[in-house]
Structure 1
Amino acid sequence: MNIIHCAATRRSAMANKKLIYPAAERNKNPILSVLQQYIRRGPNQILLEIASGTGQHVTHFAPYFPHVTFYPSELEDRLLDSISAYSQEFQNIANPTKIDITTDYHTWPGNVFHEKSFDYIFNACLVHIAPFKCAEGLFKNTGQLLKTNGIFFMYGPYALNGLLYPESNINFDQNLRSQNPEWGIRDITELKKLGNMNGIQLFEMIDMPQNNKTLVWQKVDC
């Protein structure tokens, strides 16, 4: 077997590991437009993506920010394999890290997770399809890992002050809770409480397609 054939075989094997989430394909450009408003110019910036899913987001964003090193993460092995398959040719995407967001960042593998070490943290579509302890872990770790004035982006569907709309989001929430009573669309008021507990302030809510929002938070000195 020659070198060219070996390389082609490897590329084919990696391609077979790429998973596709249609929702990620639909929302990657609208999310990118938000990131472009907030990610600053300047070298040596780093972004941690919590719950990267398939890797479709990080590999879409990375070419637009060559000065930023992206650190994807996931819990499931099949998703970690998918992220690796998508990101293998990107110089500014690190190897994905296996992370359980309910655990303290000191226990995570790798030598990049230090207090106030990240300029940005990004998370999409986690807190409504996970127990609330995942939201608690997300905010606790984000509050410690973000640099002062660092930005935390959250994308997904949210309620506000006890109100959830439109009807499609109400139906979605009911469907989630029927699958697992610990799941469900979270209220921004609840999330703001978690933010306040961890030195993270919400300063912008951006309406997105398909009745979603991007919440933009900033780390402040307590």
Structure 2
Amino acid sequence: MRFYFISTLLRCEFLPGCGFIHRKSNYRSLKQSHPSADRNCIPISEQIILQVDLKSGDLQLLEISSGSGQHAAYLAPLCPNIKFYPSEFDRRLFPSIKAYADDCNTNNILEPLYVDISANPKEWTKQYGFKSGTFDYMLNFNMLHISPWSCAIGLFRSAGYLLKPSGKLFTYGPYKVNGILEPESNVNFDQSLKNRNIEWGIRDIEDLKKLAEENNIELVKSVDMPVNNKFLTWMKRRE
């Protein structure tokens, strides 16, 4: 029953092809829209709102590699008690992220932050005043396979530093499982990524688990998603 309610709510709130409902028409020209983000918004949002605290106040979430800003725009209105901090390495995407944030009716998406996730978190967090254990949640969608391995290292290092004990990191995308990549479409996709950049490629969950372990984090949930993707939930251990 709860799943049906969530699905109905999401489908009422979103318009396919344009992201979250545009309430301020002057922002439309600034917003970048990716069809894949529109397609995966509902299954991702269903997983998020089943796994976060929707009652406590003053919770904070850091999104790494926000891209166009669509995911934050989908999620923030469903989690009005959580402050969303979008971040991005490519400053050219800031206007799109800001446009989605300004259009959010719950006003809980903050200004985008410049973050090089491959850098030491103890260094890049200083300019924003973030300390160890600042965040309740972190998000990272569709980055790990289109970035160097150093970004995966940095993501888990940052999560280990920035998450509170029992805080969660959510990742989404295609993954290998115990060295096996399937179906064939994912194998072809992996090869196309490596043809574009030898440092890119679909990551193995076992390799990510090793990075997580080094940063006091463990994989607590894996959910199969549409189009051969997975939604992974990682949790920082209590010290």
- Normalised by the size of structure 2, how large is the TM-score? 0.85
For residue 72 of structure 2, the aligned residue among 54, 58, 62 is 58
Aligned pairs for 1:116-195 (under 5 A) are 116-195=133-212
- Mapped partners of 1:108, 1:181: distance in 2: 27
1:82 aligns with 2:96: yes
State the partner residue of 2:81: 67
Displacement of 1:80 in angstroms is 1.4
Displacement of 1:111 in angstroms is 3.0
1:107 aligns with 2:129: no
For residue 97 of structure 1, the aligned residue among 93, 105, 113 is 113
Q: Deviations over 1:71-98 (max 9, x none)?
A: 0000112211110011113311110101
- Mapped partners of 2:128, 2:201: distance in 1: 34
Residue 144 of structure 1 aligns to which amino acid in structure 2? Y
Aligned residue pair count: 212
Residue 94 of structure 1 aligns to which amino acid in structure 2? L
- Unmatched tracts of structure 2, length 5 or more: 1-23
> Secondary structure of the residue that 2:46 maps to in structure 1?
helix
Runs of 4+ in 1 over 4 A off after TM superposition: none
- Mapped partners of 2:148, 2:48: distance in 1: 27
State the partner residue of 1:32: 45
Residue 32 of structure 2 aligns to which amino acid in structure 1? L
- Mapped partners of 1:107, 1:179: distance in 2: 30
Q: CA RMSD in A?
A: 1.4
Displacement of 1:70 in angstroms is 0.4
> Secondary structure of the residue that 1:72 maps to in structure 2?
strand
Contact residue 144 and residue 152 of structure 2 kept, 8 A: yes
Displacement of 1:105 in angstroms is 2.4
Q: Deviations over 1:135-190 (max 9, x none)?
A: 00000011100000001100000001100000110000000001111100000000
Contact residue 121 and residue 157 of structure 2 kept, 8 A: no
- Normalised by the size of structure 1, how large is the TM-score? 0.92
1:21 aligns with 2:38: no
Residue 101 of structure 1 aligns to which amino acid in structure 2? I
Identity %: 45
Displacement of 1:112 in angstroms is 4.4
